[in-house]
Amino acid sequence: MKLHYRVDGPDGAPALVFSNSLGTTLEMWDAQADALAGAWRVVRYDQRGHGRSPVPPGPYTIDELGGDLLELLDDLGLERVAFCGLSLGGVIGMWLGANAPARVERLVLCCTSAYFGAPELWNERAATARASGPAVMVDAILARWFGEGFRAERPDEVERIAEMLREMPGEGYAACCEAIRDWDFRDRLGEVRAPTLVVAGEHDPATPPTQAEVIAGGIPGARLSILDSAHLANIERADEVTRLISEHLA
């Protein structure tokens, strides 16, 4: 799977990989990439089924999505990287930490979960996406992703993310819903040995702090930071998330 990707920063700098959430593209990390690309070789990519990456028919599995990342790292000649992912991207980070520990130096897991709940919800979302496209779910999704205050103060930024959802391929969104549906990593968290920072949004209804506490409690030595945000904390609290990433990687 040849993923669409972007690299910013000096060729000789240590590599930092960002992985996007369900329904977004690599541009969700613009603020962090702009701030960190001076000291890091920042690699961003679109998950399969998202943005400008291929959209094979689903369902997908987390093993496949993780394998896509490893193939990308091989193509770029990156043996070992720091990694930051949000939601579905955080799932890829946990998978990487357990299944390819030699490839990951440090992990930042943002607004994610080791288990996303009953499969019925994800089956319903997948069916809706295939029938009508993710665009019909935009309003409900944005209400989970951003706090009411942020939506009022930064309509331009909210609209930028909404456009990602409207342009999202229905099959790609649905197939990744099915990958999330089948994800249960609770019994494997202890296999992750990379130094890990877990970031949660205090007002995140999609992956609430209780789920972050499970991750932080299961990964040896992991630290937990809870921010005043909803789900897309890296956008709603961009400066704080960037600072936390920088401090953890340092």
Residue 208 CA to residue 89 CA, distance in Å, equals 16
Contact assessment for residue 133 and residue 170, using Cβ atoms and an 8 Å cutoff: yes
pTM of the model: 0.97
Amino acid 127: pLDDT: 98
Residue 139 CA to residue 70 CA, distance in Å, equals 34
The number of beta carbons lying within 10 Å of the beta carbon of residue 124 is 11
CATH number (domain holding residue 243): 3.40.50.1820
The two three-digit tokens of residue 123, written as one number? 């089956």
Could you report the per-residue pLDDT of 207-220, keeping only the tens digit for each? 999 999 999 999 99
Amino acid 204: pLDDT: 98
| 104 bridge partner residues | 81
Amino acid letter at 178?
E
Q: Which residue in 169, 171, 214, 170 sits closest to 190, CA to CA? A: 214
Amino acid 68: pLDDT: 98
Amino acid 240: pLDDT: 98
Contact assessment for residue 78 and residue 50, using Cβ atoms and an 8 Å cutoff: no
| DSSP state letters, 32-99 | HHHHHTTTSEEEEEPPTTSTTS----S---HHHHHHHHHHHHHHTT-SSEEEEEETHHHHHHHHHHHH
Amino acid 22: pLDDT: 98
> Is the C-alpha dihedral spanning 226, 232, 235, 241 positive or negative?
positive
- The stretches in the chain having pLDDT less than 50 are none
Number of domains in the chain: 1
Structural domain including 151 reads 5-249
Residue 205 CA to residue 209 CA, distance in Å, equals 9
| Cα angle: 135, vertex 143, 54; to 5 degrees | 40
| DSSP state letters, 218-240 | HSTT-EEEEES--S-HHHHTHHH
Amino acid 182: pLDDT: 97
Q: 124-127: long-range contacts (C-beta < 8 A, 24 or more apart)?
A: 125/173, 125/174, 125/177, 126/58, 126/59, 126/173, 126/174, 126/175, 126/177, 126/178, 126/181, 127/174
Q: Which residue in 226, 230, 237, 200 sits closest to 31, CA to CA? A: 237
DSSP character for 184?
B
Amino acid 31: pLDDT: 98
Residue 9 CA to residue 33 CA, distance in Å, equals 9
Contact assessment for residue 181 and residue 207, using Cβ atoms and an 8 Å cutoff: no
